[in-house]
Each structure stands twice: as structure tokens, then as C-alpha cells.
Amino acid sequence: MSIPNYQTIMLPLLQYVSDNQEHRITDATEYLSKKFNLSEGELRELLPSGIPIFTSRISWAKTYLKQAGILEQPKRGVFTITDRGLTLLQEKPPLINVKLLEQYEEFRAFRSRKSHVDSEASALLQTSDETPEEQLAGAYQKLHGELESELLEIVKQSTPVFFERLVVDLLVKMGYGGSQKEAGKAIGRSGDEGIDGIINEDKLGLDVIYIQAKRWEGTVGRPEIQKFAGALMGQGAKKGVFITTSSFSKDAINYVRQIDARIILIDGDLLTGLMADHGVGVTTIGTYEIKKADMDYFE
């Protein structure tokens, strides 16, 4: 069974707390995971923020029920059903969703708060089965994907010299190569036996990594990776990174899993993803912070 959306969770959650006892999200998560027969894999699915999707949806279901006066939070970390919630259960609704909660004035007031959200975006938040957090995460992933596609097209059109400089910048941002000056000397100077350069694995230079960085049109196959692995062996090296603007064949990927040398394959998609994550070739045009109430402050 797939993970239920937050509206589907509302009725089972209310039924769970109908005993008039205080409950915690962790206990509700355990109960509802069995109720919906979720697998371990589904329970481990995370939002980009690192929060389990199922736990997030339970929290949002609780928030909506609380805003409707159906649940209350008598003290930090626990919640319980209200008289209004018990009355609603006695009516035996087939489901509880946002439309049903609209009958309560408190919930309508909660929904009408638009602070800094335009009417179109507000309407989307009110009708979607996704939680607001999931919608933000989805929008972020879409923008991130579009950015990576744009970066890849630009990188493919760059000169070989610029591509080498890009690789230097990225590796330094990721913590390799010591200073940028030292890394710049290492990359692009060799060109010997299938190796484009050497870079320090750490700032102290305790170990080195051999680099192959190539703009590529077609798929990089096993022969190219074998050539690189042979070059590593000739240098007595055990670690290498093969970076391309293209992709790797299945044979090439399987090959690096079978050999003793540790070779990391970075294709165009991973390359631009790392560029975006580490701020190489991109600029920040806006920052949004997601905040929650600090209960320690109020205590």
C-alpha cells in the first residue's frame, strides 16, 4: 500500500485518540503504520528536509484537526480529542477531509490567513492532497532539476580549458585539492596515459586522487574506463574519479564494481547536481526559511 495522504489519515487518527487519553506523534505513527499496513521501506521514505513522509503527513493531519477544534494540545508533545471531536465521530463520517472541516468557523479562519501568499498559491495549498511542506519540496525539486538541465547545456558548450577549471572549482568546493592554486596546478597538467590530472584527497595531501575529466557526446563505455583503470595501475594508484558531461554504459558501471581500484563515475547529471549543491556556476536569488514554534521558549 502506498503512503496515504494527510486527509486520508485524519479519520483514523481521530479514531485512535477517541479514548480521551493523551497521545504522542510517535505512538500515533506506530499505530497508523500498522493500520495502513506500511512497509519498512515506505516508513523510511524521506522528504528533502530529512523528515519521514508518513510522520510529516500525520503531523499535518493533527494540525488541521487541531485548527478545527477537533483535537487539542493540553501540554507540550501530546494531544487529545475534544468534545467536538467525539461528537464528530458519533456522526460516523465516511472520511474527514478539508471540505468537511470547513463547517467549523475556527478552521475557516485558519484557512483565510494568507500572510504573504497570493490568492492563486493559497488556493493550491487548500485543495491539494499534498501537505504544504510536500508542495514546497516538490517545487524545490522541480526548480533544481531545471537548473541542472540548464547547467548541463552550458557546460557542454564550454571549452576544454574552461571545463578543466570548472572541475577544479568543484573539487575544491567539495574539500579536495587543498588550495585552489594547488589544485589548479594538478589538474590538466599530466595528460599521460589516460590521466588528466592529480589532486590531493585532503588538505594535508596524505593521499592523491587521479582525475579523468572529459566533455563527451556519446555514452562512455567500458573500454574508456578500463583504459583509465590501467593508467591508475601503472601509477600504483588505487583511487580515481572519471568525470564526463555524458553518461556511462551499464557495462562501465558494472566494471568499476568488480575491480580493486576505487573509481568514482560522475556523469553529466551528477556533475551539475554537485555544482548546484556546492554553489559552482550558480547564484542564489532567494532564500526561504521554514520555521516552527519553539516550545522551549514558551516554557
CATH architecture of 155-278: 3-Layer(aba) Sandwich (3.40)
Distance from C-alpha of 106 to C-alpha of 237, rounded to nearest angstrom: 67
Report the percent of the chain where pLDDT is more than 70.
86
**Poorest-pLDDT segment among 11-25, 114-128, 159-173, 278-292:** 114-128
pLDDT of residue 117: 46
pLDDT of residue 195: 64
pLDDT grade, residue 295 (50/70/90)? low
20 vs 193 pLDDT, higher one: 20
User: Exposed, middle or buried by CB within 10 Å (0-12, 13-18, 19+), for 207?
Assistant: exposed
184 vs 20 pLDDT, higher one: 20
pLDDT, tens only, 61-70 = 999 999 999 9
Is the model's pLDDT at 273 over the cut of 70?
yes
pLDDT grade, residue 13 (50/70/90)? very high
pLDDT of residue 247: 94
Distance from C-alpha of 105 to C-alpha of 101, rounded to nearest angstrom: 9
pLDDT grade, residue 119 (50/70/90)? very low
pLDDT grade, residue 178 (50/70/90)? low
pLDDT grade, residue 105 (50/70/90)? very high
Q: Are 198 and 209 contacting, i.e. CB atoms less than 8 angstroms apart?
A: yes
pLDDT of residue 124: 46
Q: Where does 6-117 sit in CATH, by number?
A: 1.10.10
Average model confidence (pLDDT) for the chain? Answer: 85
Question: Computed over its alpha carbons, how large is the radius of gyration of the chain?
Answer: 27
pLDDT grade, residue 218 (50/70/90)? confident
3-state secondary structure the chain: CCCCCHHHHHHHHHHHCCCCCCECHHHHHHHHHHHCCCCHHHHCCECCCCCEHHHHHHHHHHHHHHHCCCEECCCCCCEEECHHHHHHHHCCCCCCCHHHHCCCHHHHHHHHCCCCCCHHHHHHHHHCCCCHHHHHHHHHHHHHHHHHHHHHHHHHCCCHHHHHHHHHHHHHHCCCCCCHHHHHHHEEEEEECCEEEEEECCCCCCCEEEEEEECCCCCECHHHHHHHHHHHHHCCCCEEEEEECCCECHHHHHHHHHCCCEEEEECHHHHHHHHHHHCCCCCCCCCCCCCCCCHHHHC
- Can you tell me the mean pLDDT for 266-286? 91
Identical fold, 6-117 and 155-278 = no
pLDDT of residue 22: 95
262 vs 203 pLDDT, higher one: 262
Q: Per mean pLDDT, which of 187-196, 230-239, 270-279 is the most reliable?
A: 270-279
151 vs 204 pLDDT, higher one: 151
